Amino acid sequence: MIQHLHTVHTFTATPLGDLLLAATRQGLSGAWFTEGQRGLPDWQSWGAPTHGHPLLGQAAREMAEYFAGQRQHFDVPLDLSGGTAFQQSVWRALLDIAAGDSQSYGQVAARIGHPAAVRAVGTAVGANPISVIVPCHRVLGSTGTLAGYGGGLGRKVALLRREGWQVDAPAGAEPVSTLRPQRVALRR
């Protein structure tokens, strides 16, 4: 069961929509798109947003740098303690998937020592509370196909394209085909 931990929160704009950022004393505990995001907490009950908080400011700056192509890795401290031990192990494994790379759900399951837990890994990936920074968008189906994304498949495609992937889909069609890497020099 996921607990949406926060002591402070704010909003930041991205090219893919506004993000709700939440943090505890330990680190960033949430980054959810405010529209079309599965698992979006009931943030309206959290009170007024916090402005000028150093950790939230760092997260917002790093997110802006990522979307500007100036950052591929995030340094903001994270608090993943809102998930179960299994979910936390999956989320930590996702942090090791570099921009421009991908792994299947089965590969993630094997990396955390539970090779038969592919579906459970998929559930944990889908419950990731820190979009973009904990890069669940880099997890693909076993044959390299697009799989679900809590922020919507269109956002997953946009994030992967931003990281140098080419998505094979007819113009105007819903992206459902395989991905293949496109050799692009990423700025680190």
pLDDT at position 29 is: 95
Q: Which residues are catalytic?
A: 136
Q: How confident is the model at residue 188 (pLDDT cuts 50, 70, 90)?
A: very low
Number of compact structural domains in the chain: 2
Q: Give yes or no: residues 114 and 28 share one domain.
A: no
For residue 31, being part of any structural domain is answered with: yes
> Looking at the domain assignment, is residue 80 inside a domain?
no
- Identify the pLDDT of residue 169: 58
Query: What's the pLDDT score for residue 132?
Result: 97
What is the rounded average pLDDT of the residues 46-75? Answer: 95
Q: Quick one: 92 and 177 in the same domain?
A: yes
Give the predicted TM-score (pTM) of the model.
0.87
Confidence check: pLDDT of 163 > 60? yes
Checking DSSP bridges between strand 165-167 and strand 139-140, what pairing results, if any?
unpaired
**Structural domain span for residue 16:** 8-67
For residue 38, what pLDDT band results from cuts at 50, 70 and 90? confident
Label residues 160-181 b or e (16+ Cβ within 10 Å = b).
bebbbbebeeeeeeebeeebee
How far lies 40's CA from each of 48, 57, 74, 152, in Å?
A: 17, 21, 22, 12
Angle between helix 85-94 and 118-126 (nearest 10): 80
For residues 114 and 161, state if they share a domain. Answer: yes
Position 60 in a domain: yes
How much is the average pLDDT of 161-169? Answer: 79
Q: Does position 114 have pLDDT exceeding 80, yes or no?
A: yes
When pLDDT is cut at 50, 70 and 90, the band that residue 57 belongs to is: very high
Mean pLDDT of all residues in the chain? 87
* Model confidence band, residue 93 (pLDDT cutoffs 50, 70, 90): very high
Is residue 185 predicted with pLDDT exceeding 70?
no
pLDDT for the residue 143: 79
> In this structure, is residue 175 part of a structural domain?
yes
